[in-house]
Amino acid sequence: MLRLTNLRKSYGNIVAVDGISLEVRRGEVFGLLGPNGAGKSTTIGMSVGLITPDSGTVEIEGAGAPTTDRVRGHIGIAPQALAIYDDLSGTENLSLFGRLYGLGGRELKDRVHRVLDLVGLLPRSSDRAGGYSGGMKRRLNLAAALIHEPPLLLLDEPTAGVDPQSRNNILDTVRDLAKAGKTIIYTTHYMEEAQKLCDRVGIIDKGKLLCVGTVDELVMAHGGKSIVRIERAEKHERFETDAPVREISRVLAGADAGDPVTGVHIDRPNLESVFLGMTGRSLRD
Amino acid sequence: MGSLAGIRAMWAIAWTDVRLLLRDRAAAFFTFVFPIIFAIFFGLVFGGDAKKGKIEIAVAQLDQGSLATEFVSSLKQMDGFNVTSVASEADGEKAVREGKASACIIIPGGFEKGLDSIFANGKGPEVPVLVDPSKAADTGLLQGRLMEQSFAMMAKSITQPERMKKQLQQARDMIAKSKDIDLSRKLMFGTLFQNIETFTNDANKPGEDGKPAFSDNALSGFSPMQFEMKDIRKQRIGPTNAYEVSLPQGIVWGLMGCVTAFVSTLARDRQRGTLVRLRSAPVSRWQIVGGKAMAGFVSCMLVQWLLIGIFAMFFGVRVPNPPMLIVATVFSACAFVGVMMFLAVIGRSGEGSAGFGRSVILIMALIGGGTLPVFFMPAFMKPVSMASPFKWSVDAIEGATWRGYDSQQMFLPLAVLAGVAIGGFVLGSMMFRRAMRE
């Protein structure tokens, strides 16, 4: 659906994106993960034609580069910064964005109604967005990306700073969209979200794509060993292993009656350990 | 996106920006309400409405006869008119052109003779009246009163037996000298005029009720004087109403409100992320800029015509040349859209743009006649004021109202405003384009 080939973008001496090549398949939810300043937003900007790459190409399957109006009509974006007008109501915001995509009349009205319903904002549709909670604003931001029913959605941290209820609504909406066959590129800092939602994940840092695969593949390849913690009355034990169950059985079989095992814990590798393993633990600003 | 869809998208952006302006109470107040208060306040300070009261009429008495003098003095006693004598027709015409009088009545040489030969000629003397076409109501009122005065004059003339006899004698002399009338008819007219003279003498004797035989209705359908209305194009060299001066100033403040409200919109769009959404939509950069410009233009036109409408309706500001005023307001709006476009792309943040824009615009307004009209400014300030588009906007609006500019005089302010519009728009668009490239 979306093919990025050897994309490069620099701002002066700073290389924001350094030769990223990536293919997002039709109908999949692709998670793009990376620490702050990794190059995610620049990659997304180039993917929707907002930023011109220094080199490399972006291609939307069957449409071409997103430099023309027609191709941009295939993409819906929910930027990280809330791209809505506080002084307009939910309906007015969506009507404006719909008109920019050539919608009008009955069709626009129906779409606005449907999308507001989808994100759970129908009861507050005529209130000004400025009076919405953070979560409602995020949902409206997502709704604005859906108004023209694009086949490709770019959702840049759509759950940043929202309450659990709104997050749940957004995640459900993304799942529904995925079921409806939309292709979604999803950036987030919440690893559990990516783990739950994404068919495949790519980790990006310092402008380079470090790895791509399903969550299981990445965990398998880059997650490291499981950590087993054995708790005893007098002495605790902690070790890394590829076969935690076997190791625990061995420990329990040879346990000393004078110092019995009081607890066993297994910390399996997950996407977060993959992420930290790939990008390091140093703070990013 | 097709051209029609593009225009729709531009209009959607424009309408959104106008709506956002109207919903921002502070911005809406300073754009639409404050200029009205400002113009009314300064109108009062400059002298309020000096026009209310009597209608100014000039009269040039070129016949010094007693009837002419009597007619002029009767004119001077008319209610609702302030009739002042001028020495000549040229002076009277000047008074009308300069707006000092709504009309000038010319009592021509031979006025009395014309009145005396009313029966011989079948019509009274011709009395030219030079009128200001923009004062149709005043002229209409004057016309009615002149007819009334002329009948009163005629009645007076007839009720004076000696004058009547003189008029009849003139008619009899004219018939006697005529070669086209045969002798039998001359005798017949002679008898007729003799009878009329006898009738006049008898008719002027009071009846049993003590009233004269002639009543005002006796001569209906007859005009004893021929009032010939001549339009004199007013050459306005000064405002006749203080609000005519304060209106363009109010407009300056309205335009200022529009510019300061809109300069921050692009930067604010960039800040809050809505620009990303606008740019990711299938609309070109030109359409986004065009939409913003359209919003500015609509607001500038709205504020200008709101002020013009209010001041024309309630404060006696005249609009003698509406098409010229439309042109002036359109050029002013375009110029300030240009200024707006340029200032909007300079600042990176909404507050930065608004702050910088406000400062620049305030200075422009001050030197351009926003608070003190340019013609009140000291001599050294007048060349400085030319650097401000506000000066040219005020000039164009004054030219289309009380200055009464012709198209040649309007050319300079309109050309400067067009230059500002084009320059601002081109520079602003180029800078916007560069900023968008990132």
Q: Is the pLDDT of residue A245 over 90?
A: no
Best mutation target, B277, B279, B434, to test chain A (most A CBs within 10 A):
B277
Confidence of residue B180 (pLDDT cuts 50, 70, 90): confident
Task: Give the C-alpha separation, B36 to B38, whole Å.
Answer: 5
* CATH number corresponding to A2-220: 3.40.50.300
In chain A, what residues touch B270 (CB-CB under 8 Å)?
none
Q: CA dist A57 to A9, B28, B321, Å?
A: 11, 46, 60
**How far, CA to CA in Å, does B192 sit from each of B14, B117, B197, B224, B418?**
83, 17, 9, 21, 75
DSSP assignments along B345-393, one per residue: TT-SSHHHHHHHHHHHHHHHHHHTTSSS-GGGS-TTHHHHHTT-HHHHH
pLDDT band at B1 (very low <50, low <70, confident <90, very high): low
Sort out which chain B residues have CB atoms less than 8 A from A97's CB and list them: 277, 281
Determine the straight-line distance between the first and last CA of chain A, rounded to whole angstroms: 33
The answer for residues whose C-beta is within 8 angstroms of residue B244's C-beta and 6 or more apart is: B317, B318, B398, B401, B402
Choose from B280, B284, B292, B434 for mutation: most chain A CBs within 10 A: B280
pLDDT higher than 80, residue A38: yes
**Contact check, Cβ <8 Å, A83/B273:** yes
The H or E element that residue B230 is part of is strand B226-231
* B283 chain-A contacts, CB cut-off 8 A: 69, 100
What residues of A are in contact with residue B277 (Cβ under 8 Å)?
Answer: 77, 79, 83, 97, 144
With beta carbons less than 8 A apart as the criterion, state whether B156 and B166 touch.
no
Tell me how close the Cα of B303 comes to any Cα of chain A, in angstroms.
Answer: 21
Residue B216: pLDDT band with limits 50, 70, 90: very low
* ipTM over cut 0.85: no
In this prediction, residue B414 carries a pLDDT of 95
DSSP per-residue codes, B196-229: HHHHHHHHTS--TTS--S--GGGGTT--SSEEEE
Q: At what angle do helices B3-23 and A90-100 cross, to 10 degrees?
A: 160
DSSP code at position A3 = E
- Flag whether pLDDT at B219 surpasses 80: no
**CB pair distance less than 8 Å for B273 and A75:** no
- Residues of B with CB below 8 A from A101's CB? 281-282
Give the pLDDT band (50/70/90) at residue B159.
low
Quick check: helix, strand or coil at residue A38?
coil
What is d(CA A57, CA B79) in angstroms, rounded to the nearest whole number?
Answer: 87
Listed by start position, the domains of chain A span 2-220, 225-268
Helix (H) or strand (E) holding B307, with range, is helix B285-314
Q: What is the DSSP letter of A206?
A: T
Q: Which of the pair, B238 or B57, is modelled with greater confidence?
A: B57
Closest-CA residue to B300 (of B274, B275, B333):
B333
The amino acid that residue B261 corresponds to is A
Please report the pLDDT score of residue B199 as a whole number.
60
Q: Where do the DSSP E strands lie in chain A?
A: 2-11, 14-24, 29-33, 55-60, 75-78, 152-156, 183-187, 200-205, 208-213, 226-232, 237-241, 261-267
> Strand A208-213 vs strand A200-205: parallel, antiparallel, or unpaired?
antiparallel
Name all contacts of A263-266 with Cβ < 8 Å and 24+ positions apart: A263/A229, A263/A230, A263/A231, A264/A228, A264/A229, A264/A230, A264/A231, A265/A228, A265/A229, A265/A231, A266/A226, A266/A227, A266/A228, A266/A229
Strands A2-11 and A55-60: antiparallel
Q: Where are the beta strands (DSSP E) in B1-68?
A: 55-61
pLDDT band of A84, cuts 50, 70, 90: very high
Least confident of A177-191, B175-189, B404-418: B175-189
- What span, in angstroms and rounded, lies between the C-alpha atoms of A173 and A184? 12
Report how far residue B114's alpha carbon sits from residue B119's, in angstroms, rounded to the nearest whole number: 10
Backbone angles phi, psi at A32, to 5 degrees: -110, 110
pLDDT(B123) > 80: no
Closest by alpha carbon to B277, among B265, B263, B288, B292? B288
pLDDT the model gives residue B405: 85
SS3 A183: strand
Do residues B353 and B264 make contact, with C-beta atoms less than 8 angstroms apart?
A: yes
Instruction: Say which residue, B76 or B206, is predicted with more confidence.
Output: B76
Among B65-69, B99-103, B391-395, top mean pLDDT goes to: B391-395
* Long-range Cβ pairs for the range B310-314 (8 Å, 24+): B310/B36, B311/B39, B311/B243, B311/B247, B311/B250
DSSP state of A220: H
Cβ-contact B52, B240 below 8 angstroms = no
- Token pair belonging to A197: 């939602």
Residues of B with CB under 8 A from a CB of A: 1, 5, 8-9, 12-13, 16, 19-20, 23-24, 271-274, 276-284, 437-438
Residues of B in contact with A81 (CB under 8 A): 271-273, 276
Asked if pLDDT for residue B128 goes beyond 80, the answer is yes
8 Å CB contact of B12 and A72: no
Q: Determine the distance from the C-alpha atom of residue B291 to the mean position of all C-alpha atoms in its chain, rounded to a whole number.
A: 34
